[in-house]
A = this chain, B = another copy of it.
Amino acid sequence: MARMRYKLTIAYDGTAYCGWQRQVSTISTVQQTVEKAASYIANHPVTVLGSSRTDSGVHAQGQVAEMTVETQWETERLRMAINSRLPPDILIRTMEPVDEKFNIRKAKSKRYRYLIWADHDRPVFYRHYVYHYWRDLDISAMQEACRLFEGRHDFIAFRGRQDEYQTTIRDIFHCHIYRRGPIIIFAVEGNGFLYHMVRTMVGTVLEIGHGQGKPERVMELLVAGDRRAAGPCAPASGLCLQWIRF
């Protein structure tokens, strides 16, 4: 038996879960579900720490987490064993041994994607993975608004109430939006995100796309820092954590 520390990449359909983070009650979360499966296979209690606390209903293609287990199994066999105990909507995509230098709290870059179904008719097959918004949208105004998010800014106007971070300053490396058929794709990459930040950015960009303010409204929000002046928090279903780099 060896004590091993692993870095995991996890994909999940968040529809059925109350977010990533473990809860005290009997509510089902992704973290608890993965911990239960890993503990069963390792035959001792395992704690799985995630890099991002995705919200209730938010999806992930590449959540990153770490765990320490006592095992005599090879890494790939252990990954497959834990996957066999996970439900169909969660998958450990990769698993690799890491040493003490790996710090789950020290992500360099994270990418989120938000999908908007911009068609009058409902998204029959994509309904759990998009936000259905059928009003007219000016994509070039939205693209201009997205560009204004790039750089180092104080995102205090874009954070949710429950936020507990000490600083509200974040670096946004890329932010853009484009259309593919009935779907509008919003993609943002940064060194970190506040609670509800991506969804409030999307809600604000949608308002601008619908004519409620010019793209420069983004700059005013970043400067003034007034949450009430920003757009609403867009629904969780459209959001997906794409990847995290360390």
Whether, in the assembled complex, A11 has its beta carbon less than 8 Å from a beta carbon of chain B, the answer is yes
The complex is assembled from copies of this chain, and their number is: 2
B83 contacts A124, C-beta separation under 8 Å: no
B122 contacts A91, C-beta separation under 8 Å: yes
Q: What separation, in Å, do the CA atoms of A122 and B93 have in the docked complex? A: 9
Instruction: Give every chain B residue within 8 A of A165 (Cβ-Cβ).
Output: none
Whether, in the assembled complex, A181 has its beta carbon less than 8 Å from a beta carbon of chain B, the answer is no
The minimal Cβ–Cβ distance linking A3 to chain B, given in whole angstroms, is: 27
Whether, in the assembled complex, A13 has its beta carbon less than 8 Å from a beta carbon of chain B, the answer is yes
Instruction: Give every chain B residue within 8 A of A13 (Cβ-Cβ).
Output: 124-125, 127
The minimal Cβ–Cβ distance linking A141 to chain B, given in whole angstroms, is: 28
What sequence of 0s and 1s flags, for each residue 122-141 of chain A, a beta carbon within 8 Å of any chain B beta carbon?
Answer: 10110101000000000000
Closest to A59 in B: B125
Instruction: Give every chain B residue within 8 A of A89 (Cβ-Cβ).
Output: 124, 127
What sequence of 0s and 1s flags, for each residue 51-95 of chain A, a beta carbon within 8 Å of any chain B beta carbon?
Answer: 000000001000000000000000000000001000011110100
Instruction: Determine which of B11, B90, B124 lies in contact with A12 in the assembled complex, contact meaning CB atoms within 8 Å.
Output: B124
Whether, in the assembled complex, A164 has its beta carbon less than 8 Å from a beta carbon of chain B, the answer is no
What sequence of 0s and 1s flags, for each residue 4-26 of chain A, a beta carbon within 8 Å of any chain B beta carbon?
Answer: 00000001110000000000000
Whether, in the assembled complex, A100 has its beta carbon less than 8 Å from a beta carbon of chain B, the answer is no
Chain A residues 88 to 106 lying within 8 A of chain B, measured CB to CB, are 88-91, 93
Nearest 10 Cβ contacts at the A-B interface: A11-B124, A91-B124, A88-B127, A91-B122, A13-B124, A91-B121, A13-B125, A89-B124, A88-B122, A12-B124
Q: Can you list 10 residue pairs at the A/B interface with Cβ under 8 Å?
A: A11-B125, A13-B125, A13-B127, A59-B125, A89-B124, A89-B127, A90-B124, A91-B121, A91-B122, A125-B129
